[in-house]
């Protein structure tokens, strides 16, 4: 397991980006936990988050020269990650993101930022994988617009759920886009690292909550990993 994973889980708890309880998801499923990247809402928090993404990219997708973030949540992620990568590698790293709708005047087009060339090694960063559909759309749009290939995708949290076709969402996305997909942490690793561990003097994930997560994964999770 990567050395930064425990640090990252602590960071998620401290920023209240990972919470345990009862949460109704967009899919209608009732989940015993919830990941909310909107909690990274200060300069310090987004800077630290970008450093975790940069560490994962350096370990698993080295040589990245451009970072793409799909609108909207991917926009601050690509900026923070590119900044951290420049510091780590001492090399210029571009970033770019998309508009939801194409702009027809002034700075026209769907993409904003340092538009990559076919020579760039482009990595997408986003917050979470549930079914992977929006990421597939973003990859296709960038490929068609710029004629570039991605070297990989990095997300903060892999919920390890099945997509609408009943396939492991992360493996299904890898298969469809043809590049590696890396998560900073997945929910099973969270259970392994956090159960009965005190953070700031309190246990946030006890055996009962872990069992609720296991039950949820038996119902909705992938069994392929």
pLDDT digits (tens, 9 = 90+) for 126-146: 998 866 778 888 999 999 999
Would you say the pTM of this structure is higher than 0.85?
A: yes
Give residue 105's pLDDT. Answer: 54
Residue 225 belongs to some domain of the structure = no
User: Which of 28-32, 107-111, 167-171, 188-192 is most confident?
Assistant: 188-192
Residue 111 belongs to some domain of the structure = yes
Give residue 64's pLDDT. Answer: 97
Residue 198 belongs to some domain of the structure = yes
103 given a catalytic annotation: yes
Residue 179 belongs to some domain of the structure = yes
135 given a catalytic annotation: no
Residues 104, 110, 111, 112: what is their CA dihedral angle, to the nearest 10 degrees? Answer: 40
| Strand locations in the chain (E) | 18-24, 30-35, 66-69, 94-103, 109-113, 122-129, 150-158, 181-186, 198-199, 202-203
Residue 56 belongs to some domain of the structure = yes
Q: Which of 6-20, 106-120, 154-168 has the lowest mean pLDDT?
A: 106-120
Give residue 224's pLDDT. Answer: 67
Residue 66 belongs to some domain of the structure = yes
Q: Which of 132-141, 154-163, 189-198, 199-208 has the lowest mean pLDDT?
A: 132-141
With a cut of 70, say whether residue 225 has pLDDT above it.
no
| pLDDT band at residue 107 using 50, 70 and 90 as cut-offs | low
- Inter-helix orientation angle 74-89/43-60, to 10°: 60
Given a contact cutoff of 8 angstroms between Cβ atoms, the answer to whether 121 and 63 are in contact is: yes
Give residue 102's domain range: 4-220
Rounded to the nearest angstrom, the gap between the alpha carbon of residue 138 and the centroid of all alpha carbons in its chain is 14
How many domains is the chain partitioned into structurally?
Answer: 1
List the catalytic residue out of 5, 100, 103, 220: 103
The residues that bridge with 168 in the sheet, in sequence order, are 162
- What are the tens digits of pLDDT across the range 45-90? 999 999 999 999 999 999 999 999 999 999 999 999 999 999 998 9
CATH assignment at residue 143: 3.40.50.2020
Average pLDDT value for the chain: 91
106 Cβ contact list (under 8 Å, min separation 6): none
List the catalytic residue out of 5, 60, 105, 214: 105
Residue 17 belongs to some domain of the structure = yes
């Amino acid at each position: 397991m990567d050395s930064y994973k425990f640090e990252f889980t602590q960071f998620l708890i401290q920023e209240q980006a990972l919470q345990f309880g009862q949460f109704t998801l967009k899919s209608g499923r009732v989940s015993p936990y919830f990941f909310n990247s909107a909690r990274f809402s200060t300069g310090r928090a987004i800077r630290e988050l970008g450093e975790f993404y940069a560490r994962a990219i350096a370990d698993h997708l080295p040589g990245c020269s451009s970072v793409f973030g799909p609108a909207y949540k991917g926009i601050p992620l690509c900026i923070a990650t590119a900044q951290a990568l420049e510091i780590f590698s001492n090399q210029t790293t571009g970033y770019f993101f998309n508009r939801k709708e194409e702009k027809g005047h002034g700075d026209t087009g769907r993409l904003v930022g340092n538009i990559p060339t076919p020579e760039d090694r482009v990595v997408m960063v986003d917050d979470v994988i549930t079914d992977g559909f929006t990421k597939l759309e973003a990859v296709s749009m960038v490929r068609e617009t710029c004629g570039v290939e991605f070297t990989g995708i990095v997300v903060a949290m892999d919920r390890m759920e099945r997509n609408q076709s009943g396939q492991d969402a992360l493996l299904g996305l890898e298969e469809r886009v043809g590049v590696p997909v890396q998560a900073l942490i997945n929910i099973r690793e969270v259970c392994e690292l956090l159960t009965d561990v005190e953070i700031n003097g309190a246990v946030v994930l006890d055996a009962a909550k872990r069992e609720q997560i296991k039950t949820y994964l038996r119902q909705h999770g992938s069994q392929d990993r």
